[in-house]
Structure 1
């Protein structure tokens, strides 16, 4: 256990914003993003991936090979059948519409560029979101650019009038695109109902057969509205809250924590204030409830949030300052939010791990599986920051 503690002290993930993170098995996987150095925004290395053990809190890094994507931020990441997929994002050459995947389970970390076999690839964009449903990935929204010839009279693309050049137009969209990785096929299915307004830097989550989005930047404002896309019928519904709403925001996160609850954290408010509030939304009662948590002094925006063990939400990285400031305060800590009551086994493991010195004589007598679990949690509590010790 001491080796694990020493290892974590030596190997610490670099702070970052606009990165990609997914949870798979017992690990959080982190790739990409950027940091601010002096007056420059620097993309982080694209040939490495960071792994965070959710039980021990120990970081490790691995080299990546294959068809490596460019270093970038704002890409849309998800996990499907043990693979991490990333689409879109912004690199040194601007926004992209390329899609890559990497197997997370074979420990080889070899990137593969997914070349589409059928359909039309979405236009370049970043700050979009996605849902995973029936082995397909469904993408929504984002901010990107289109050529003049690609614009039509529909309302699914709003031009950002301060950002255009010759026949290239930037703007927000509310398009829905579907990618089937089994046949490398893109499609833009027809949806029904009233869609959300075009937006970017919003948050999304999947609950069963429904995909939810919340807030984001809609032209010059930030919202807190919630919309649901039935992933079977592809029908949009706006959900009207029966309680008070969180303030409008962008660059926040939304995570499914039960079969009927979504957890919202952080973001940038309408008045450009970084936030640290957490909210739980019940999709059945349509009520928001603010969650009391120990991180009220740790605002975050353009961070990631992934589901951990026992409905914990693991928030990693992001910025504690207004993201458009040149020298913004990027972070590299993992904040663990408890959103549901812990089962008895988890309570026992954590109690023994917190008090490992008291149970020093009894620990060798534990069953092997339980002993290993307690050892990992002991490393976690011994090496975690003062913030994590409050959990």
Structure 2
């Protein structure tokens, strides 16, 4: 089940975009960067602003950013850790990057700082990777980027894109694992064991406990629908073999944890380059996929973001709605979204059901209007926050 979050009387303030970063802290979703389609070209969005989306009222607010602001870019990897947003990699006007930036989301200042690791070397420049957060560490996997040619020839973890070869460097996909320790401010590259996933980009990842999961993605002549797990303590890979029907292979999709044992997959791009709108739940305890039954199947999205919210909701924002088949290295998303909507993954608790009913029916039911003041205090406050903005879920 899904439901719109937008104010029915207003369009969301945030610009249409894809390849952006979004994280949730408390009842707020923070959105930064990405690209959008103009009448002439696809351009990256301003780097000195961050958009705040109130998940209770559906209201947007734009805040200016300062400090060591990252360049405008898309395809970077963003994570929230201890109230801070970390972004790594991405694609700017000079191509893929391997810079790391951090900003405090909770102090209201939104001042970026460039993170300079101590006595360590970062991964090579890349974008469209995935990441997992565990034990104050951010672990990055895969992506598409470039390396110097003499570093590629014997590198089994890098699959070169022969269509993108230059005199001194080459582009391609990788299946490398790199770890950034936010406490020690240091990069490491742990030695993993087990069956390593093939090199890929535009895949989706999610963290459950001390395990990182990766699904799908694109590589050399490859779009996959496999799922793998990396133990973030022992650094052991294992391929997960589902015990049931599996979602179609895809890339540019999202994978979101909603409980200690379940992940939600949404959207992406199919093998024949069609945007998808289907949703699936994967139970890691029984290795079983089940398709979500959603009333609206017209919200195709790829290269969007999907964040976990309260009551096991998944909040989807932005993304491409259409896709033009790539010619050479050029890939064209022909339209973008600035819509935010919720995928409901489980029945709501009674308090949430009451809140939704009151907000939805308050204007048509005279009894409700006259009795609002008798509601329990926590329910009343939640209702008042929403009706003050005329938000209906």
Task: State TM-score, norm by structure 1.
Answer: 0.93
Shift of 1:351: 1.3
- Are the structure 2 counterparts of residues 352 and 128 from structure 1 closer, same or farther at C-alpha, using a change threshold of 3 Å? same
The CA distance in 2 between the partners of 1:153 and 1:11, in whole Å, is 49
Q: Describe how 1:23-42 pairs up with structure 2 within 5 A.
A: 23-42=24-43
Q: Describe how 1:1-391 pairs up with structure 2 within 5 A.
A: 9=10, 12-322=13-323, 326=332, 328-357=334-363, 358=365, 359-378=368-387, 382-383=390-391, 389=393
Shift of 1:119: 1.6
Runs of 4 or more consecutive aligned structure 1 residues displaced over 4 Å after TM superposition: 5-8, 323-327
Gaps of 5+ in 2: 1-5
The CA distance in 2 between the partners of 1:90 and 1:72, in whole Å, is 5
What do residues 132-179 of structure 1 show as CA deviations (whole Å, max 9, x unaligned)? Answer: 000110000000000123225232000000001101110000000000
What do residues 290-323 of structure 1 show as CA deviations (whole Å, max 9, x unaligned)? Answer: 1011331111000000001111000000011016
Gaps of 5+ in 1: none
- SS of alignment partner, residue 10 of structure 2: helix
- Are the structure 2 counterparts of residues 364 and 216 from structure 1 closer, same or farther at C-alpha, using a change threshold of 3 Å? same
- Are the structure 2 counterparts of residues 8 and 156 from structure 1 closer, same or farther at C-alpha, using a change threshold of 3 Å? farther
CA contact (8 A) 1:354 1:378 kept: no
Shift of 1:217: 0.3
- SS of alignment partner, residue 334 of structure 2: coil
Task: State TM-score, norm by structure 2.
Answer: 0.93
What do residues 333-365 of structure 1 show as CA deviations (whole Å, max 9, x unaligned)? Answer: 011000012111111111111122221111233
Shift of 1:327: 6.2
- Are the structure 2 counterparts of residues 303 and 39 from structure 1 closer, same or farther at C-alpha, using a change threshold of 3 Å? same
- Higher deviation after alignment, 297-306 or 10-19: 10-19
What do residues 26-62 of structure 1 show as CA deviations (whole Å, max 9, x unaligned)? Answer: 1010000001112311110000000111111111110
- SS of alignment partner, residue 328 of structure 1: strand
CA contact (8 A) 1:349 1:377 kept: no
CA contact (8 A) 2:17 2:320 kept: yes
The CA distance in 1 between the partners of 2:10 and 2:199, in whole Å, is 44
CA contact (8 A) 2:323 2:332 kept: no
CA contact (8 A) 1:36 1:326 kept: no
- SS of alignment partner, residue 86 of structure 1: strand
What do residues 208-247 of structure 1 show as CA deviations (whole Å, max 9, x unaligned)? Answer: 1110000000212211100000111110000011111111
The CA distance in 2 between the partners of 1:295 and 1:8, in whole Å, is 21
The CA distance in 2 between the partners of 1:378 and 1:149, in whole Å, is 62
- SS of alignment partner, residue 249 of structure 1: coil
- SS of alignment partner, residue 150 of structure 2: helix
- SS of alignment partner, residue 16 of structure 1: coil
Shift of 1:12: 1.2
